[in-house]
Amino acid sequence: MTNEKGSTNAQMTKERSETPSRHSDFVIPSGVVIRHSSLSSGLIATSAQLTELLEKIEPVDRVAIDTEADSLHCYREKLCLLQAARLLGIREFSLAALVERFFGVKLAKGSQKANWARRPLPERMVEYAMNDTHYLLPLADRLESQLREQDRLDWLGQSCERAIEQAAAERVRDVDEAWCIRGSGALRGRAAAVLRALWQWREKEAEAVDRPAFHILQNDELLRAAESFASGSVPDYRYFLPRRRRAFRDAAQSALQLPEDEWPVSRRRFGTRPSAEVVRRSEELRHRRDRAARELELEPTFVAPRATLEAIAADQTRASALLVPWQQQLLGTPRE
């Protein structure tokens, strides 16, 4: 990626000055100092308070929002509370690490896995939420400034656009594959049929009580239970109430009675050995990536994961779908 004209970063800067980028208008307005909320209460709990908040944020250019959800506590994740760094080569990029790095402040993180669906929220959780947003705007200022200095603000715009596109894409769950949890590949025949039935039972139980599936029965226990039923044993769990225990056993018994032609068919994935030319291209891409990452002090996998390099080496037309423009430019792959 480098030549007699200078380093990768310098060359890319020169190219940008000569060729306008379609992302060059990505700008983050700023100018807000650190201060706590001026609202009469730090927590918005009523319609009147929400109206007051909306009136206060209407004139401003930028609002800091953090979110807390309840995926550890509910079957379907819900947004329960409203409250950017690897491009600079920063390896510790959690909010707590960034706040300590830029402001010398250690944030208490004891409420990370708390149940944010609780109402009313305990005072310690309210304080945790406020502290998380307290530094977001000035932190964004610092990061934006450094991205501008290193001519990487454009990269942020591209990465954000791709993230939005991916988030908007509809994800369809493959019901024939969903039950294939880690370790299920070792089960065959009747045991696999029992595992599938127990997984389906667990999903129904979790949805009925609005709890994550692992709260009902963890994956390793699910695997062991399937093996036990298939071998003639009847596993039991003391914390199961009578109704749940009956449903658990009924699901297994139904699977045990299935005829063999209704057992799950193992889907073995036979990969084809890449050609010598594909291997050569993959290694060439890896060397380019590693060289660019060293020069820019970025993590190589952040520039492009190995699987992405291999996919592009096998089919170069996939580069634009798998990489954003700044990544493509670093790797020297064709751009549409």
Q: Are the beta carbons of 84 and 146 closer than 8 angstroms?
A: no
Residues in a beta bridge with 3: 6
Tell me the pLDDT of the chain (336 aa) as tens digits. Answer: 333 334 333 333 333 333 333 333 333 333 333 344 433 446 777 888 888 888 888 887 777 776 665 455 565 655 444 437 778 888 887 778 888 888 888 877 665 566 666 677 777 777 777 777 778 888 888 989 999 999 999 998 898 888 888 877 766 666 667 788 888 888 889 999 999 999 999 999 998 988 888 889 999 999 999 999 999 999 999 999 999 999 999 999 999 999 999 998 866 554 578 899 999 999 999 999 999 999 999 999 999 999 999 999 999 999 999 999 999 999 998 665
Helix, coil or strand: residue 140: helix
| Distance, C-alpha 34 to centroid of its chain | 29
For residue 216, the Cα-to-chain-centroid distance in whole angstroms is: 24
| Extents of the domains making up the chain | 27-168, 189-262, 276-331
Find the helix packing angle between 189-209 and 219-230, rounded to 10°.
Answer: 140
Q: Find the length of the chain.
A: 336
CATH architecture of 27-168: 2-Layer Sandwich (3.30)
DSSP character string of 79-132: EEEE---GGGT-S--SHHHHHHHHH--PPP-TTTTS-TT-SSPPHHHHHHHHHH
Give CA separation, 38 vs 30, 41, 60, in Å: 19, 8, 14
